[in-house]
Amino acid sequence: MSRLWNLTEFGFHADRVNHYETLFTVGNGYLGTRGSFEEGHPDSIAATLVNGVYDHADGMLVPELANFPNWIPFAITVDGTPFKVVTSTTDLMKPPEGVIFGYERTLDLKEGILRRAVLFRAASGNVVRVIFERFASLSDVHVMAQRVIITAVDGAPEIAIRAGVHGNSMNATALHWNDDVQVISTDEEIGIGATTRQSGYSMGVAARLTGPHPATASATGLILDLETRFSLEQEQTVTFDKLVGIFSSRDTDENPLDAARAKALRASEIGYDALRAAHVAEWAKYWDTADIVIEGDDECQLAIRFTTYHVLIASPRHDENVSVPAKTLSGFGYKGHVFWDTELFTLPLTTLTHPSIARNLLMYRYHRLEGARHKAKANGYEGAMYPWESTDTGEETTPQWSDVQPDGSRIRIWTGDNEQHISTDITYAIQQYWRFTGDDDFYTRYGAEIVLDTAVFWGSRAEEKNGRYELSQQIGPDEYHENIDNSVFVNRMVVWHLSTALNALSWLRAHAPADAARLTSQLDLTEARLAKWQDIIQRMYIPFDAEKGIHVQFPGFFDMEFIPVPKYQPRVTSVQAILSHARSIQTQVIKQADVVMLMALLGESVGAPGGADVKTVMRNNWDTYFPRCDHGSSLSPAMHAWVAARLGLLDEAYDQFHHAAHIDLADNKGNVRDGIHAAACGGVWQAVVFGFAGLHIADNGALALDARLPAHWRQISFSVNYRGEIKRFTVTNPR
């Protein structure tokens, strides 16, 4: 049913302009364009973000994605009355020049097409229906297409249109572009080319307009338009197509503006309908394996297609030097930086459904190994230590201080210094990719080097003291507690990492001896170093309370102030925001899944020191930490859903899943205006496949299920690309 594929805004919501701009982003892995109105809006945050085009502007603490020229402007006047929706939230009481009688906007998730239909009456009394349609081509990522259909519903109006490429949005957040801008403005085409100030990337955006009436060009500074005027008879319809090409110097050796002009010309020759058909056909290929069908829950069916859509439009198809920003390409949140969100949350979806995309994402990390080595050396360690936040260079780009707080202070940000588990998160993603794809070529040439060199880092980072190995000054997933000693998440995952590295080297020696010899020499994998890894594995301190039968998040955690998190309801913010940063870090309030995240990643192999029953320990862990978690991060609910499902706590699992699936749709964090929560989107997919369906690789190497579905779900179906073969699963609820 189409309604299970269509996200619809029925009636204009003036108070949610930026929210819907984010939700209705169109993209193709190369770029993302927010769902801003073609005619503009005073409250709009218009943006087209091209993956990898970062710039470190003067006065900014860290680099960010640079905003490209706005390719969607399409202004319409009807008998001299400007076509527009309510001007702003502050103008609701003012009499409009024209009247909106009907408004509906729909994002077709299946086809990747955004449509908006508006019934508009001009001051003259004439009524028109305007339909806008746009897409960022999935079949040719350098093409964007826009169609505008105008119908005279009542009367014979005079229409004027201006279809533009506007450069005034390029510097929405900072001055990223040099002043020597190239401008193309003829009656056939318009275009803008520019170069970033610090990073030196060049870009070009060019557009052509096709329709029944000839256009003339106009240019005012960087506001370029193609204009035309015409009359409509009653019930007459007219259609205009604007076809756009876009390039950066990252993806072409020629002048990007020249490449964009050539692409726009070729697109106009092919025509909108053919471009649209190719785009839709390409989407069908991606949905064939990425779609999850839920029978018995229409609300969550639409939600999981929405979250999957946003992972797919942010994931690079043809570029192994970019990744998925934490806020995708749908907004300026986190300045377009890449975190662990990619490897542990969004990448698994592509690993299991479109492994070529997952390989690109992992190659992004491989190409930035030098940056990780620089960071390790700068901090006095060996090997490769990946940055907490990454951009195009691979160097650490985490700001050291927050933005100014309401009281004028700034908060020190320690994640770039001490949230070091990201090196293991990347290794986990590599191992998962290799196990599910069997891509030995990637592993021997690239993946194993990351696994081993990050292990070298941990071997130099672990501290031998108190008759054991410890890790001081760490930040685990629970970022409320900074610079702690012996995070159980970090310590246990380092044991897993070093064990994995030793197994990787053994496998290489047996199956790829030349690569084993190369990496042994290159990374100085001496017998003494390997012996130390084994010693760390055996003697790493894993905080555990044998009496309570739980893993201890870190020593001293339970000495802190206990806050009854479940009692802080209803709330629309984190408990930390209620308590203040200074107080919350001295409490047992947890930001997101930490010990629970450890159980999600390792399952029963998380272990239970002292011979305790691991199933009992895992349930004890849940009962201890779930009530203390305020889910201050969007990453948290999906991981809790996954673990709760495996523990058989299906009511709790569904509640957490529903929350995760609607974080953006319902704006549960109140910040969707800044962009989609990529990790939450990827986590939702994992909660279904790894959690409710219980997908895993059995001891015999075959895929197996251990399904535990919510009571009202009749059935789920999904597909997995396992070692080059598509496996399709359907799970029926026995209840």
Given a cut of 60, is residue 287 above it in pLDDT?
yes
Question: What percent of the chain is modeled with pLDDT above 70?
Answer: 98
Spatial strand order of the sheet with 26-27 comes to 26-27, 31-33, 48-55, 64-67
| CA torsion through residues 369, 375, 376, 377, sign | positive
* pLDDT (0 to 100) of residue 479: 96
Residue 550 pLDDT > 80: yes
Residues contacting residue 664 through CB under 8 Å, at least 6 positions apart: 22, 23, 306, 307, 310, 672, 676, 677, 680, 681
When pLDDT is averaged across residues 652-659 and rounded to a whole number, the result is 98
Output the CA torsion 228→229→231→237 (10° steps).
Answer: 30
Q: Give the tens place of pLDDT for each residue, 312-325.
A: 999 999 999 999 99
Backbone φ and ψ for 237, nearest 5 degrees, come out as -120, 140
pLDDT above 90: residue 483: yes
Q: What is the DSSP string of 286-323?
A: HHHHH--EEES-HHHHHHHHHHHHHHHHHS-SS-SS--
What pLDDT, on the 0 to 100 scale, is given for residue 406?
A: 78
Provide the H-helix boundaries in 585-686. 595-602, 614-625, 636-646, 650-661, 678-686
Cα-based torsion angle of the residue sequence 288, 294, 298, 303 in order, rounded to the nearest 10 degrees: -60
Give the active site residue among 233, 479, 482, 604. Answer: 479
Domains of the chain: 2-267 (2.70.98.40)
Other CB atoms within a 10 A radius of the CB of residue 500 amount to 18
Strand partners of residue 107: 7, 114
Q: Does residue 387 surpass a pLDDT of 70?
A: yes
pLDDT at 329 over 60: yes
pLDDT in the model for residue 90: 46
Residue 728 predicted with pLDDT over 50? yes
> What pLDDT, on the 0 to 100 scale, is given for residue 599?
98
For residue 704, the cross-strand partners are 696
Q: How far apart are CA 727 and CA 379, in angstroms?
A: 45
- pLDDT at position 88 is 43
In the predicted model, what is the mean pLDDT of residues 693-711?
97
Closest to 152 (Cα-Cα) out of 77, 84, 234: 234
pTM listed for this prediction: 0.97
Q: What are phi and psi of 168, to 5 degrees?
A: -75, -10
Return the amino acid letter for 499: S
Is-catalytic flag, 725?
Answer: no
**Cα-based distances in Å from 13 to 17, 87, 299, 668, 676:** 7, 12, 21, 17, 19
Contact 676, 310 (CB under 8 A): yes
Q: Rounded to whole angstroms, what are the CA distances from 729 to 368, 707, 732?
A: 37, 11, 10
CA–CA separation, 630 vs 585, rounded Å?
A: 13
d(CA 43, CA 284): 35
247 pLDDT band, cuts 50/70/90, is very high
Of the given ranges (100-104, 336-340, 351-355, 575-579), which has the lowest mean pLDDT? 575-579
Rounded CA-CA distance 209/377 in Å is: 54
The H or E element containing residue 450 is: helix 448-461
Q: Mean per-residue pLDDT for 89-107?
A: 75
Q: What single DSSP character describes residue 567? A: G
Instruction: Please give the DSSP secondary-structure letter assigned to residue 174.
Output: S
pLDDT tens digits for range 186-214: 999 999 999 999 999 999 999 999 999 99
Digit-coded pLDDT (tens) for 599-648: 999 999 999 988 889 999 999 999 999 999 999 999 999 999 999 999 99
pLDDT of residue 734: 84
pLDDT for residue 89:
43
Please give the mean pLDDT across all residues of the chain.
95
pLDDT value for 407:
80
DSSP letter (8 states) at residue 83? P
Q: What is the pLDDT of residue 92?
A: 47
For residue 570, say if its preceding peptide bond is cis, omega within 30 degrees of 0: yes
% of the chain with per-residue pLDDT over 90: 91
- Quick: pLDDT tens for 332-381: 999 999 999 999 999 999 999 999 999 999 999 999 999 999 999 999 99
- Phi and psi dihedrals of 193, rounded to 5? -130, 145
pLDDT band at residue 175 using 50, 70 and 90 as cut-offs: confident
Q: Which of 47-61, 262-276, 393-407, 445-459 has the lowest mean pLDDT?
A: 393-407
Greatest Cα-to-Cα distance within the chain, rounded to the nearest angstrom: 89
Question: Could you give the CA distance from residue 529 to residue 505 in angstroms, rounded to a whole number?
Answer: 13
